[in-house]
Structure 1
Amino acid sequence: MYNIAILGASGYTGAELIRLIAGHSYMNIKALGANSKAGQSMAEVFPHLRHLHLPDLVTIEDIDFSHIDLCFCALPHKTSQEVIAALPKDLKIVDLSADFRLRDPVDYEKWYGNPHAALEQQKEAVYGLTEFYRDEIKAARLVAGTGCNAATGQFAIRPLIERKVIDFDDIILDMKCAVSGAGRSLKENLLHAELSEGYHAYAIGGTHRHLGEFDQEFSAIAGRPVKVQFTPHLIPANRGILATCYVKGDPEEVFEALAATYRDEPFIEVIPFGQMPSTRHIRGSNFCHIGVSADRIEGRAIVTAALDNLTKGSSGQALQNANLMLNIDETEGLMMAPLFP
């Protein structure tokens, strides 16, 4: 058994990690850090986890990391880098924040508004998009989980750039994002009366921070700058992301590129040509469904991807990476079927 610590355990991704690890054969939750709710039990903070025998929440300073094999860090960006810089240098860490996703510190400051405070750790961090960085993740000490929007868009588009079947200068990503992606903090615009019965676009015109990941990853694959048009929309749903991607390329070639890339991947399902995925079919699971359809305009294709932002987009991805880092079967604790209806 491997002893696990979760920092930021009182947030949605922390709770999701606990839910997933509860069904894991080789992990034992040894410590739960949550400074704002230290001294409380998980049953008080998340009643849906009351059936589990879990340690009480403590401050991060009170955790003895000498007995921890791997630490999940589910803290906000900026806080995460400061905490991780102070952790033992030999501790394996999976970070769920944005702090180590961007390789260039200049890019980090551009998108997140403050200089990076843990440059040594940033240099060793491996980008945590499991299906494309598997070998690097296996050997890593620190893995940086992707943004949930960034993961969804990359699953849909990355293989098409790698196989050169689309026009790199004509990519549009339209995403519908559930409210849990904004975290558990109280915000006026996320109140039920403010959010329900409608949805709206936000971060218009290229201001969303996950664009930094798209720019970094797509440009590296193409060998030249690639900039996509990306507009997220907040929808009145608890979980899920649906990305509708508009690309210029032969629809059949687009479909074959995706099918070939993901043929042996346990968590990525390319569904039959012409069918479209739904967030209701991946809810609560570590699966991502991808569909391709021809557009009425010749030479254009529509690619749609759906995943659960808390699972495959965050905590499930984190556990998938942790399995690799600990030399455990990658699918351990993650093969649960989606919740339906």
Structure 2
Amino acid sequence: MTHKIAILGASGYTGAELVRLIATHPSMEIVALSADRKAGLEMAAVFPHLRHLTLPTLCKIEEIDFANVDLCFCALPHATSQRVIKTLPSDVKVVDLSADFRLRDPDEYAKWYGGQHDALEIQKEAVYGLTEFYREEIKTARVVAGTGCNAATGLFALKPLIEADVIDLDQIILDLKCAVSGAGRSLKENLLHAELSEGNHAYAIGGTHRHLGEFDQEFSKVAGREVKVQFTPHLVPANRGILATVYVQGDAEVIHATLAKAYAEEPFIEVLPFGEAPSTRHVRGSNFCHIGVTGDRIDGRAIVIAALDNLTKGSSGQALQNANLMLGEEETAGLMLAPCFP
């Protein structure tokens, strides 16, 4: 069976990544691609690296016939996505890559995103798209909310440890480095080459980053009490990748064994041998996440490091992984590409 796929917001980085991945999928066909300012253009004109593919011309959302669509990926900006999704036919499955349906509590959404939610009924039914932890719910979901890329990295490193109660929940420090594509494709002065290259800087300092809402929600849920991590992201002059270094209190070998057991059967999560550290260059362009654990010179402390590609495992690859489950396909379909190295 061939599933008919629409991608809304196909002119952005995550939209292009979805096209790249679906091109190798054995049972998906892209039947519609939307864009706003670039409507009317061929995808090859927007992303020349995709010119070898036969794809629909970019169009406005209102021009798409959703009667011919089985599943829709929404790679639209926050707030825009919820307004569009609530107008889609109820028989169309949706994987949303924005933040609009990640937070279950409407008050938390308003707190972190500065406005009231406009599609509360859909928010109630949406399943959080961290595939490895919500697999069964995703299989029967109509709407799946993709995680934030920073959030996914931290969650992969910490969620099994919190669930197993092998670390001090009040002493978690998360230091994260994110490549520039995580900020999207819109023109921004601070992302110009002359502004960004040859340096790196912290941002959203002191607990203001929006992905903290996801950490608070997911960590507190699994712990059964409030858990707040200390989190500082940094923007680095690289195109792809996230590297999260997490400082925790606990026995390093127990922590490593806990992660190894939690991910033993997961096709996309690789826990490295004890003492080895992952690198973003070893997961580039892939749907894999590598996690390493090492002890600290101070007894009772450990360092957990996680690396993934923010556009793939952190966003579009995760979205396709979830779509496979929603459509009854093999979870790994279209996603077993090896990382690109060097």
Q: Is 1:108 the equivalent of 2:123?
A: no
Q: 2:250, 2:158 → 1: CA distance?
A: 12
The one-letter amino acid paired with 1:96 is L
Q: 2:66, 2:110 → 1: CA distance?
A: 30
Q: 1:63, 1:156 → 2: CA distance?
A: 40
Q: Which segments of 5 or more consecutive residues in structure 2 lack a partner in the other structure?
A: none
Q: 2:262, 2:119 → 1: CA distance?
A: 35
Can you list the C-alpha shifts for 1:62-89, whole angstroms capped at 9, x where unaligned? 0000010000000010000000011111
Alignment of 1:146-185 (within 5 A): 146-185=147-186
The one-letter amino acid paired with 1:22 is A
The one-letter amino acid paired with 1:45 is V
Alignment of 1:285-300 (within 5 A): 285-300=286-301
1:5 alignment partner in structure 2: 6
Can you list the C-alpha shifts for 1:248-297, whole angstroms capped at 9, x where unaligned? 00001000000000000000000000000000000000000000000011
1:325 alignment partner in structure 2: 326
1:121 Cα deviation after fit: 0.5
Q: 1:134, 1:257 → 2: CA distance?
A: 20
2:83 alignment partner in structure 1: 82
2:34 alignment partner in structure 1: 33
Give the secondary structure class of the aligned counterpart of 2:26. Answer: coil
The one-letter amino acid paired with 1:263 is A
1:254 alignment partner in structure 2: 255
Give the secondary structure class of the aligned counterpart of 2:94. Answer: strand
Q: Which segments of 5 or more consecutive residues in structure 1 lack a partner in the other structure?
A: none
1:90 Cα deviation after fit: 1.7
Give the secondary structure class of the aligned counterpart of 1:37. Answer: coil
Q: 2:212, 2:36 → 1: CA distance?
A: 31
Moved over 3 A (4+): none
1:17 Cα deviation after fit: 0.0
Q: 1:110, 1:271 → 2: CA distance?
A: 37
TM-score (norm 2): 0.99
Q: 1:312, 1:283 → 2: CA distance?
A: 10
Give the secondary structure class of the aligned counterpart of 2:37. Answer: helix
Number of equivalences: 341
1:23 alignment partner in structure 2: 24
2:233 alignment partner in structure 1: 232
2:316 alignment partner in structure 1: 315
1:157 Cα deviation after fit: 0.3
Q: 1:147, 1:295 → 2: CA distance?
A: 29
Please, what is the CA RMSD of the aligned residues? 0.3
Alignment of 1:197-236 (within 5 A): 197-236=198-237
1:50 alignment partner in structure 2: 51
2:141 alignment partner in structure 1: 140
Q: 1:14, 1:213 → 2: CA distance?
A: 23
Identical pairs, percent? 77
2:190 alignment partner in structure 1: 189
1:72 alignment partner in structure 2: 73
The one-letter amino acid paired with 1:226 is V
The one-letter amino acid paired with 1:99 is D
Q: 1:34, 1:123 → 2: CA distance?
A: 28
The one-letter amino acid paired with 2:170 is D
1:35 Cα deviation after fit: 1.7
The one-letter amino acid paired with 1:302 is I
The one-letter amino acid paired with 2:139 is K
Give the secondary structure class of the aligned counterpart of 2:30. Answer: strand
